Amino acid sequence: MADESTVLIRKCSICKTNLEIGLNNLDEAIYYNKTHYHSECFIEAAINKSKNSNKRVSEKWNNILKNISDIRLASEKRFETEIYKEKVFDFIRDNYGVTVVPTNLYTRLADIYSGKFKGMSKGIPPKYLLDMWKKQIRGLNKIADKNKTRGKYMDTSQRLVYDTAILINKYDSYLAWLEQKKIIEADTVCKAKKTSDINADVYMQAFNNSKKPLSDDTSCACAKDFSSIADEIFDD
Ligand SMILES: [Zn+2]
């Protein structure tokens, strides 16, 4: 999957070789004390230091080893977030015809992730922003076309500001949709009916404002619940 191809290149502070961190090998790297390491290099060094004759050193590293699963978890989360930030940039480059992401967008995205952007009550994780953006891009392109025919022309930088504002406004509905999706996925009856496939259709149909019935299979009540939520999300 091309989507899996984004890797972060960092240097291991111990063996001085490059670390290539992707979504499928997040556990192979550790970020500790603002420094990057191979997991193996870090653990090996930690074990050695935990045997140091200096008691303070050995205590410190024994403690680190005791908390190693938390350190690994925090590292993986951090790397995952960084990878998704890269993916957001890739997505912008691929879909907005820019080779360089406009500088004003860097600050804007950072504020969106942290929730500091005006009017936001919480940040949007890059993973969610990317997912929303992918699902909304066709609709956003349509809005841009409509604006153009009405004589409201925006350059790419302006459009990115405009589009991100739309995405921010949709975030609460997106979270509600995610929550609903989780409930649906947990429902074994619906699972048996391959609801995840239905969901994708529902999502796209709502997205296209299609008035077509969503599914002939009305026996799956939760799929119906989902469709009403999806309609709300995309009812522009
Ligand atoms: Zn290393």
Tell me the pLDDT tens digit for each residue of 175-226.
999 999 888 788 755 555 555 555 555 555 544 543 333 443 434 444 444 4
The residue among 163, 8, 182 whose CA lies nearest residue 98 is 163
Helix (H) or strand (E) holding 68: helix 68-95
Tell me the pLDDT tens digit for each residue of 87-108.
999 999 999 988 888 888 999 9
Residue 39 C-alpha to ligand 1 middle, in angstroms?
8
Residue 110 C-alpha to ligand 1 middle, in angstroms?
30
For the ranges 70-84, 111-125, 141-155, 199-213, the maximum mean pLDDT occurs at 70-84
Domain boundaries defined on the chain: 1-95, 112-236
Q: What pLDDT sits at residue 194?
A: 54
Residue 67 C-alpha to ligand 1 middle, in angstroms?
20
Helix (H, G, I), strand (E, B), or coil: what is residue 113? helix
Tell me the pLDDT tens digit for each residue of 2-24.
456 899 999 999 999 999 999 99
For a pLDDT cut of 70, what percent of the chain falls above it? 78
Q: What is the mean pLDDT of residues 118-145?
A: 94
Q: What pLDDT sits at residue 56?
A: 96
pTM, whole model, 2 decimals? 0.75
CA distance 20 to 215: 44
Contact 61, 43 (CB under 8 A): no
Residue 31 C-alpha to ligand 1 middle, in angstroms?
12
Residue 116 C-alpha to ligand 1 middle, in angstroms?
36
The answer, yes or no, to whether residue 1 has pLDDT greater than 70, is no
Q: What pLDDT sits at residue 213?
A: 39
Residue 38 C-alpha to ligand 1 middle, in angstroms?
4
Residue 22 C-alpha to ligand 1 middle, in angstroms?
16
Q: What pLDDT sits at residue 216?
A: 39
Tell me the pLDDT tens digit for each residue of 19-61.
999 999 999 999 999 999 999 999 999 999 999 999 999 999 9
pLDDT band at 109 (very low <50, low <70, confident <90, very high): very high
Helix (H, G, I), strand (E, B), or coil: what is residue 139? helix
Angle value at C-alpha 92, between 234 and 36, nearest 5 degrees: 115
Residue 36 C-alpha to ligand 1 middle, in angstroms?
9
CA distance 37 to 32: 8
Q: What pLDDT sits at residue 235?
A: 42
Residue 73 C-alpha to ligand 1 middle, in angstroms?
18
Count helices and strands in the chain by DSSP H and E runs: 9, 4
Tell me the pLDDT tens digit for each residue of 74-91.
999 999 999 999 999 999
